[in-house]
Amino acid sequence: MRLLHTSDWHLGRSFHGVGLLGAQAASLDHLVDTVRAERVDAVLVSGDVYDRALPSPDTVALLSQSLERLVDAGARVVVSSGNHDSATRLGFAAGLLERAGVHVRTSIADIGRPVLLGDVAVHPLPYLEPALVADPLGATERTHGAVLRAAMDRVRADAATRGGRTVVMAHAFVAGAATSESERDIAVGGVSVVGADVFDGVDYAALGHLHGRQAVTSTVRYSGSPVAMSFSEWRHTKGGLLVDLGGSQPVVEEVDGPVQRPLAVLRGTLDELLADPRHVGAETAWCQVTLTDAVRPLGAMDRVRRRFPHTLELRFDPQGAAVPIRPYAERVAGRSDVDVCCDFLTHVRGGRAASADERALLDEAVEAARVARGLADDEGAAAPRATGAA
């Protein structure tokens, strides 16, 4: 049995204001090609199919077309819901879809009822929110570990009567795995991490939720997301995992997906970054740039984008700038309102003082504010007494 383990499609996600639907469509095209080329029996999608509970029409259309193409390519598809999905909406028409070879599991009522692929029983566990499912599952505590263990008790009970191989799909944060900035925190009561031992006794655990592809143990793995969603993932290699269950241990092979545009994280002074030949590759990448100039350069983003046109995030971390330690009251004592405004401008620009024109503009604004304040103070005063004969 050959499985293709994927997760965290997050269809409809944007990246610093840039829509990712085109890149996600390319990754799904590659998924279909992999199913054909590798003769995949089943595609597993371990949660977070959508990025939000109310996906856009374009996003729903992409999922519909992709599921149809995967089935046409010869694979069955097993989908479980994640913490970003609406279990009710994703699970709509699940019974009808199952007849077509698409198995969508979003309800705790289905936990323990596997999808049978030959002699392999695949148990898709939806994301389990402890506050909502602890009592129905009979969990001893309202924690992620407790509800997942209760769900696994149902899986093991089925495995004990059925025999054969068992695969579990789960959407959780397992101890020992590495996180990134793009995952939504699922902490409940400060306890969100579960131990890998919760999956003891199964042949393979196909995990979702964390966006970096990684192995917690030889049989407990995250496929990672097919597309990067934060600059913390710039070193990730995106794709999926091919899992062969023919021997005593699963044989896992990494499958790298397409990269529409790479990520680059750059740091240095503006002049260094604009001149350094080592950054040629970043000229076509989505860039996060941190400038370390002691004084914030004027027009920094425009100048950065002349070389790195796809810069999405510009940060400042001044190095060598003087840091005043005097109390604020002491620093402004005896200074005019215009002087204080100029000091503030100097501060927020990393040390670049106001020009003569800027000072004149601030002087005009301060004076206008003073006049307006004076007029406001008179609002509601009695009208002047009328003069002349009655």
Residue 7 CA to residue 219 CA, distance in Å, equals 16
Tokens of 275: 């001149």
Amino acid present at 330: E
Triad 188, 193, 197: Cα angle to 5°: 140
How confident is the chain (390 residues) per 10-residue block, as mean pLDDT? 97 96 98 98 98 96 98 98 95 95 96 95 96 93 94 96 93 93 69 89 96 96 97 96 92 96 97 97 98 94 98 94 58 76 84 88 76 45 37
- Helix axis angle for 57-72 and 21-38, nearest 10°, is 10
Q: Is 122 helix (H, G, I), strand (E, B) or coil?
A: strand
pLDDT at 32: 98
Q: In what order do the strands lie in the sheet with 220-222?
A: 115-117, 120-124, 165-171, 204-208, 220-222, 214-215
Amino acid present at 3: L
Residue from 101, 49, 70 nearest 4 by CA = 70
Look at domain 2-256 and name its CATH class.
alpha beta
pLDDT at 190: 41
Instruction: Give residue for tokens 């199919």.
Output: 49
Expressed in angstroms, the distance from the first to the final Cα of the chain is 106
pLDDT at 373: 53
pLDDT at 320: 80
Residue 37 CA to residue 190 CA, distance in Å, equals 44
Amino acid present at 195: G
Those residues whose C-beta lies under 8 Å from the C-beta of residue 308, and which sit 6 or more positions away, are: 264, 266, 273, 279, 282, 283, 285, 287, 289
Answer whether 150's CB lies under 8 Å from 197's CB.
no
**Number of residues in the chain:** 390
Q: Where are the domains of the chain?
A: 2-256, 261-321, 323-379
Tokens of 135: 């009592």
